[in-house]
Amino acid sequence: MFVLPFLDSLPHYTAVCSLLASSMMFSISGKGSIVVWNLVIQLVMCGRTVFASSDTKSCKLVSESESERKVLSRLEGLAHKNFTVEHNIGKESYTYVFQLCGDAGGVKGAGVIQLDKKNPNKPTVVGMYTDTQAIGGSDWVMLIYRSGEAYDQHCSQEKRKAYIMISCNRNTDMGQLEVVVEDRNRSTDCFYLFELDSSTVCPAIESHLSPGSIILIIAFVLLALYLVGGFLYQRLIVGAKGMEQFPNYAFWVEVGNLAADGCDFVCRSQNREQAPAYRGVTTEPLEEEPDERDDHLLPM
């Protein structure tokens, strides 16, 4: 299995899988069933890798670039599927078949074909996936297939090309292919324009939760686990009844009392000790001075 990460092309994968198959046949008579099963697993992984790597790599870009390959990789979910639509132009009736990086309608190298109902056995190639251009936006991808069959009478007999506009629609994985227009009433640069809705090109939905919200959610979850788990433990293991089923009931009661005392001490305006009342100066009755007697002044 160590050889797989070092390979990056389809021929290399095929060679490795063939080598593993040969080794498996040799191991059947030599090292027993354990080696056989190990090699079978490797062959299955090879098959999956070959299939996954061929989804969009079959498309040959006009100008090979990493950015366009990334755009094509967004369309992996649409690979190996034919999309069909019927379109009428006056008395003419056509059926169009589109496939992403695959043979549309079984026509070798064709990404989009046109079938005339008058002659359905002779398809017309509108565009080749071997001549591809991919342009992408935040929620759309424009796929261009060039090098189709030349027009007979229109557009100066230039080669056909197809534009496939794939737009974001989160409600559907693969929508219906629609023909928007076949613009052939010009001298050059004629094209076929198609539309397709798919959720594969939709951008990932970013989370709008702030770090504080995430912390609160985690805290509430932990609190719920504490309460539920503690309640079950107290009831089923300890056998508590009533309010005693609340986890750490004595501790939380003490915390509540302490909190109440603190609130009473800080918030209430009533003085905890009675201050001495203000008392005015008391007027004590003055002692009556003894009457001065002038008896001794009187003549005896």
Q: Six-digit token pair at 182?
A: 């076949």
Return the pLDDT at 14: 44
259 or 191, which is more confident: 191
What pLDDT, in 10s, does the model give residues 151-208? Answer: 988 888 899 999 999 999 999 988 999 999 988 888 888 999 999 999 999 988 876 7
Average pLDDT, the chain: 78
Domain spanning 55-198, CATH architecture: Distorted Sandwich (2.70)
Give the global pTM.
Answer: 0.56
Buried b or exposed e, range 224-245, using 16+ CB within 10 angstroms = eeeeeeeeeebeeeeebeeeeb
Cβ–Cβ under 8 Å, residues 146 and 136: no
What pLDDT, in 10s, does the model give residues 83-116? Answer: 999 998 878 899 999 999 999 999 999 999 999 9
Q: What 3 state SS string does 203-254 have?
A: CCCCCCCCHHHHHHHHHHHHHHHHHHHHHHHHHHHHCCCHHHHCCCHHHHHH
Which of 76, 93, 75 has the alpha carbon at shortest distance from 85? 93
What pLDDT, in 10s, does the model give residues 50-80? Answer: 443 447 888 999 988 999 999 999 998 898 8
